[in-house]
Amino acid sequence: MQWNSLGEFLDMGGYAFHVWSSFGLTALVVLIETLSLRAQRKATLRNLRNERLSEASSS
């Protein structure tokens, strides 16, 4: 274990901003990418279902 207290861990030896912004940004990018892929899939499926319904009603 490298840390004696939570405060010391969060402080990162005085580099708190640098370390946490790097890891935080990476986590944020992962979150945004996965959520946007899920939203994209839902939107695509919804559009395809709507197309299918309008085709079925017009024929």
Partner 1 sequence: MNIRDIHWFKFASPQNFYTLAGRMWPWFAAVATLLAAVGLWISFFVAPVDAQQGQAYRIIFVHVPASQMAMFIYIVMAGWAGFGLAFNTRLSGMMASALAPTGALFAFLSLVTGAVWGKPMWGTWWVWDARLTSTLILLFLYLGFLALQSSIDDPRRADKACAVLALVGSVNVPIIYFSVKWWNTLHQGASVTMTKSAMASTMLAGMLIMLLTFWMYAIAVALVRVRNIILERERHTEWVKHAVE
Residue choice 3, 31, 35, 54 for contact with partner 1 (CB under 8 A) = 3
Nearest to 23 by CA among 44, 41, 9: 9
The DSSP result for 21-38, as a single string, is HHHHHHHHHHHHHHHHHH
Residue choice 31, 35, 49, 54 for contact with partner 1 (CB under 8 A) = 49
By the criterion CB under 8 A, which residues form the site for partner 1?
Answer: 1-3, 9, 12-15, 17-19, 21-23, 25-26, 29-30, 33-34, 37, 40-41, 44-45, 48-49, 51-52
